[in-house]
Structure 1
Amino acid sequence: MALAAVLWRLSHGTSDAVQVVANISLRGCYLEGRLDQLQFADLSELDDVDLCNNFLNGCIPSTGNLTKLAYLDLSNNNLSGSIPASIGNLASLEGLSLFNNRISGMLPPELGFLKNLWNLDFGSNQLIGSIPPQIVQCRFLSFLVTSDKLLTGPIPQELGNYLWSRELHLSKNNLNGTIPVTLPKLHQLWWLDLSYNNLSGRVDATFNFSVNTTVSLGHNMDLCGDPEYGLTPCHTPEFNKRFKEGKTNKMAILLTFACFCFICTAIGCMTVVYYRRKSSKVSDKSKSHDMVSIWNFDGKIAFQDILNATECFDDKYCIGTKGYGSVFRAELEGGRIYAIKLLHTVEDYTDEKAFHAEIQVLTKVRHRCIVKLYGYCSHSKCKFLVYDLIERGSLASNLQEEQLAKELDWSKRVAIVRDVAQALSYLHHDYDTPIIHRDIKSSNILLDRDFKACVSDFGMAQTLKHSSSSWSTIFVGTCGYIAPGTLL
């Protein structure tokens, strides 16, 4: 890399060169290659290194010479390997972020040498092992994020000594044992997230958290306590005894009730399916109403979850942009990943019509080779659609990248054509009313991890009535992909 050559000259230059590099800020500059090729570790005067949101790979190099480094941000890259023990030599380090990489191994105990550290983020990596007890020596630690990993073992009791702690995120690990009774003493704590672990015990009145602390303890199977924290209430021994005594007498009632619920649910499902099939249009009057419909979720909760997952549609979550809008990657609670198509905010009736056309089609059709719509939001300030995330992106992007195109051998290409043909055959012949896509092109064909094709983007689709024998004379679609017969 050219940048590596510049940094090498600064650190190994001639005698008249002055080593004055104190700050490297290359956030989101599309840098590629191995991190150790940058050789920034030789610049002993560095104070701040920001290389986040790039495509850097390889291992984290030894950083023992950077004794003046205060901030190191390597988040959102493709780094792998383990965290080097030399990280403990960064005596001046105050902030360290390795979020969203592929770093593995165990947390090094040398982290305890970082006496000035106040921000530590290891989230979304592949770390294993337990939280090293030496980490409690970081007395000024305010933000600790170690979520979405495979950490095991108990939570150190000494975490309650972090009197200046603001946020502790330890969710989605395999931590076990009880919750340290010292944590409620952190009166300046804003957020404590211990959800999705294997914690056990009771969270009773002795856990008197501050009213300003947001506490999340849900999805710990053996943890019970206050429902305010997302927990199941603890059953007293007397309650359990009465429950066992009355269990036999209530069995018949429960079975009868279960059968009744099953019948009601079946009837309700058939009724919903019937009316959904009869529903043929999404009203264009929705401009004056705010709608949120996200299947299998509570609308308001899912809407807020999507905003949180994308940080209000921050550019760092954007994975594609087209004329109609941008596509964002959103990982919701539980680990499911979705693609959010956010429409540009333009006062254009054709865009509004295309938005509702896509909803109208995708809420009715069900086919393996057609992208699945989970829901939508039609709001005066925000319009988006929620889809399954198709991992490999569009066929067009795969053909344009030389390395990806080589993976598309003839057998895969024939399979892609077959998948698209099956989707179109379903739309034209197998659905109640024929649907014409009218914009089939390589950028509207998505490929999953196994090169299975899915047809997407139904903004120009049209439903044909069985009694209709006429075609629209208005040309739609993309130049170069319009069917020649429409021009005759």
Structure 2
Amino acid sequence: MLAGSRQIDTSGDPCEPVPWFWVTCTGDGGYFTHISEINLGNQGLDGSFTNDLSFSSYNVFDLSNNSLHGAVPSFLGNIATFKLDLSSNNFSGPIPIFIVDPTLPESEVPSGSQIQFLNLSSNSMSGNLTDISGNFPYLKALNLSGNHFSGPVPLFYGNTTPEVIDLSSNCLSGGISELLMMINFRIKTSPGPRQSLKTLRLGDNNLSGTVPDEIWSSELQLETVDLYSNNFTAVDLTTWFQSLVAGGFSGKQKVNLLNNPIERVIIRDDIVNLKSGLESKTDVEMWNILSNSEGYIVFGGNKWCNSSDLSRARILKNYLCRPSENDDYYSVPPKGPDNTSIIIGGAVSGSVFLVIASILLIFLGRMWRRVKDLRQLQAELEKEDVRPPFYKYEELRAATKNFSDENELGRGGFGAVYKAELTDRSILAVKLLFPTEQSMTDFLKETVVITGIKHRHLIQLKGCCVRDKKRMLVYEFAENGNLVQALWGNERSFILTWAQRLKICIGVAKGLSYLHEELQPRIIHRDIKPHNILLDKDWNAKIADFGLARTMQGDEWTQATTIGGTMGYVSPEYSTEGLITEKLDVYSYGILVLEIVSGRKCLDPSASAEEFYLRNWAFKLHRESCLSSMAEKTLIESVPAQEIESLLKIALLCVQETHEKRPSMSEVVIMLTGNSSLATDIMNELCEQQQVSYDGLFETSTTNEVNGTEEKEKYVLLALTSFSHTNSRAE
């Protein structure tokens, strides 16, 4: 069935007397007669499908959360008649033809055409989706998210109209008008009731153009539409605006358009009257209409929100431009006709009245300061094209159990980090910053910069919060903590494998390469260390804590007036001269790699004098031709010495004394990921440019110039050959 897969017990009858743990059997008369479900999810399976797979059909065929790879074969269409789940594996190649070919002859239509749930999400599949076959009249949910599919959004032919379509986090392009028009036409021309699309998730793609007015059609019956993080530049709100003028929106559509460069809101037909109708509503009237709507739309943080369009409909524009659906768009509660007056009777004594008045004045003073702070925040953010979402302080306080010690994940030089579980069960990390003299304007500017930085190997900022003098940053949550816990934590229940360590090294290198060379303006982190390397559930490394980060506007170097960073990781030119270049981070990265491989800290007071500083000890072992001996014991026993030495020697390149002699992080990435041709060129150039450094790196008391040259050539070969066949373990 699965080539290379770990063994699952298949001895005896699968159903009698007791079914295997991974099957469900059904039958009549108290006896099991056949297998109805196969559930092998999360069983550590690897390998690929073989062509000799021969199964009857099952109600459920679940192989999710494993490490299966290769192409998804078309014969799987004959297996599941209710649910086929291959999510969270490493499948690659195009989508199976039985899913996308609308011209498939009836004789070749799979027996699984009655399938209701098809999940191929979180794999590495690619190619154009083109169009979805009409061979699935009972399909309720199609999930192809988290792959690398490209091309236009597919159309759904024949009788196939799922209730849920999830194509998020791919590389789809074009618009969505054709898909919505096709589904709407099918509903209108259908002779009887039929299943309709309720959830459409297309976020995190490259879609563009105009978000069509069809989304608001009552006939379409959409309920959830996720279009966040695309490239839409306009949205047609004609139908939605018409319903507001008429007294309220009755639809259930929840539309998320956050992180799109929207420049224009379209109002078709009677544009003057419709706009004037919207702007004629009082704040209270508009607030009542919007607050009573079951659906919503949000698309904050774009050019239109900073324009003067609809500026006279203040509440409506605040509503549309919120950073999330939970944000308040009317900071002062409306004063409606049902409000009652509080009458203080003459029986209240003067002293009691004064006490109440004093308390009231204090309360109003605090409220006024908070309103003033909020207005300052809003004024500052109005100047920015990208706005970080704001979280309510009360929400974060409840989510962190009042910032309790129980929820504290750790603390560093800039603040304490807490685990926060929100009411929707999502988990985030909240950094409560220590008080500083930094102005609100500078804080917001830094937050805006970090919000715009998105990369797989950089921790993502989700938003921020300000209450009085408290400032909080809200980040994505890293399930496996930080690298300190993984390497040396007291509660460490296992030891990182070689593949995991290599994966972490590659991830950090890619993140730094992005900061140094792809981002504009460039960013130098200045404090790369294990505390600032977070690990998600799949052991992907994510660089965190940009508190010391320095942006570079094209200058090759600059000087710091105060020295930050952490002892042991700081480069010589930074600690002695305050010199800041990208090579500062390269040095810290080299120290980090030495720690990851050795399992030892860069400064170890308990070690002998020669082993106290990890960098110096590594150079000593290299001169003695036993560099791999510094690796953690479990690695020495299970990993070829050549592979260990290759990674350690790249680390030694990074920690050379002179910053000009160190490679760039993009060169490190190339050396790590095994592009042998380009890597050879880089290494040869390094050899030519770094004679002094290489002589220092490889010299011994007895080697002459010839032997040194031979040793360098040997090193180049070692550093390039090992990674070409080991990177598949890490990526």
What's the TM-score bracket when you normalise by the shorter of the two chains? 0.5 to 0.7
The equivalent position to 2:230 in structure 1, one of 164, 172, 197, is: 197
The equivalent position to 2:45 in structure 1, one of 13, 25, 31, is: 31
Residue in structure 1 matched with residue 551 of structure 2 by the alignment? none
1:214 aligns with 2:247: no
| CA distance in 2: counterparts of 1:62 and 1:202, whole angstroms | 39
The equivalent position to 1:306 in structure 2, one of 460, 476, 484, is: 476
1:60-75 to structure 2, matched below 5 A, reads: 60-63=72-75, 66=78, 68-75=80-87
Residue in structure 1 matched with residue 651 of structure 2 by the alignment? 416
1:92-171 to structure 2, matched below 5 A, reads: 92-107=114-129, 109-134=131-156, 137-139=159-161, 141-155=162-176, 156-157=179-180, 158-160=182-184, 164-171=196-203
Residue in structure 1 matched with residue 534 of structure 2 by the alignment? 340
The equivalent position to 1:368 in structure 2, one of 572, 582, 585, is: 585
The equivalent position to 2:60 in structure 1, one of 48, 66, 91, is: 48
Cα deviation digits, residues 311-343 of structure 1 (max 9, x gap): xx499xxx96863568999x9xxx99995369x
Residue in structure 2 matched with residue 78 of structure 1 by the alignment? 90
Q: Describe the SS at the equivalent of 2:216.
A: helix
TM-score, normalised relative to structure 2 = 0.37
The equivalent position to 1:323 in structure 2, one of 462, 482, 489, is: 489
| Cα contact 2:92–2:124 (8 A) shared by 1 | yes
Cα deviation digits, residues 414-454 of structure 1 (max 9, x gap): 3324546769xxxxxxxxxxxxxxxxxxxxxxx977449xx
| CA distance in 1: counterparts of 2:230 and 2:44, whole angstroms | 36
Residue in structure 2 matched with residue 483 of structure 1 by the alignment? none
Residue in structure 2 matched with residue 173 of structure 1 by the alignment? 205
| CA distance in 1: counterparts of 2:163 and 2:637, whole angstroms | 46
| CA distance in 2: counterparts of 1:172 and 1:71, whole angstroms | 26
- Could you list the runs of 5+ residues in structure 2 that have no partner in the other structure? 15-31, 100-108, 188-193, 242-248, 267-296, 312-382, 384-411, 419-429, 434-445, 451-460, 467-471, 516-531, 537-563, 571-583, 600-630, 659-667, 674-731
| Cα contact 1:93–1:117 (8 A) shared by 2 | yes
| Cα contact 1:184–1:210 (8 A) shared by 2 | no
The equivalent position to 1:225 in structure 2, one of 261, 265, 269, is: 265
Residue in structure 2 matched with residue 395 of structure 1 by the alignment? 597
| Cα contact 1:325–1:341 (8 A) shared by 2 | no
Q: Describe the SS at the equivalent of 2:75.
A: coil
| CA distance in 2: counterparts of 1:216 and 1:419, whole angstroms | 44
Q: How big is the shift at 1:136? A: 7.7
TM-score, normalised relative to structure 1 = 0.52
| Cα contact 2:130–2:152 (8 A) shared by 1 | no
| CA distance in 2: counterparts of 1:177 and 1:220, whole angstroms | 11
Q: How big is the shift at 1:114? A: 1.3
Q: How big is the shift at 1:300? A: 4.7
Higher mean C-alpha deviation, range 45-54 or range 292-301: 292-301
Q: How big is the shift at 1:53? A: 1.5
| CA distance in 2: counterparts of 1:195 and 1:168, whole angstroms | 12
**Pair 116,414 (structure 1): closer, same or farther in 2 beyond 3 Å:** same
**Pair 52,392 (structure 1): closer, same or farther in 2 beyond 3 Å:** farther
Q: How big is the shift at 1:71? A: 1.0
Query: Which structure ranks higher in relative contact order (CA pairs < 8 Å, sequence separation ≥ 6)?
Result: 1
Cα deviation digits, residues 237-266 of structure 1 (max 9, x gap): 999xxxxxxxxxxxxxxxxxxxxx9xxxxx
- Identity of aligned pairs, percent? 21
Q: How big is the shift at 1:203? A: 3.0
Q: How big is the shift at 1:281? A: 6.5
Q: Describe the SS at the equivalent of 1:292.
A: strand
Between the two proteins, the alignment pairs up a number of residues equal to 334
| CA distance in 1: counterparts of 2:595 and 2:34, whole angstroms | 43
| CA distance in 2: counterparts of 1:409 and 1:84, whole angstroms | 40
| Cα contact 1:21–1:45 (8 A) shared by 2 | no
Q: How big is the shift at 1:48? A: 1.0
Residue in structure 1 matched with residue 676 of structure 2 by the alignment? none
| Cα contact 1:45–1:68 (8 A) shared by 2 | yes
**Pair 131,282 (structure 1): closer, same or farther in 2 beyond 3 Å:** closer
Q: How big is the shift at 1:116? A: 1.3
**Pair 451,59 (structure 1): closer, same or farther in 2 beyond 3 Å:** closer
| CA distance in 2: counterparts of 1:402 and 1:27, whole angstroms | 32
Residue in structure 2 matched with residue 484 of structure 1 by the alignment? none
Cα deviation digits, residues 160-181 of structure 1 (max 9, x gap): 5597544321123232343232
Which residue type is aligned with residue 648 of structure 2? R
Which residue type is aligned with residue 597 of structure 2? L
- Could you list the runs of 5+ residues in structure 1 that have no partner in the other structure? 11-17, 240-260, 262-279, 343-360, 373-389, 424-446, 453-488
Residue in structure 2 matched with residue 485 of structure 1 by the alignment? none
| CA distance in 2: counterparts of 1:177 and 1:93, whole angstroms | 34
| CA distance in 2: counterparts of 1:408 and 1:202, whole angstroms | 54
| Cα contact 2:63–2:87 (8 A) shared by 1 | yes
The structure with the largest helix share of the pair is 2
**Pair 73,420 (structure 1): closer, same or farther in 2 beyond 3 Å:** farther
| CA distance in 1: counterparts of 2:223 and 2:598, whole angstroms | 46
Which one has a bigger Cα radius of gyration?
A: 2
Q: How big is the shift at 1:211? A: 7.0
| CA distance in 2: counterparts of 1:54 and 1:82, whole angstroms | 19
| CA distance in 1: counterparts of 2:593 and 2:217, whole angstroms | 44
Residue in structure 2 matched with residue 20 of structure 1 by the alignment? 34
| CA distance in 2: counterparts of 1:4 and 1:184, whole angstroms | 50
| CA distance in 2: counterparts of 1:102 and 1:282, whole angstroms | 38
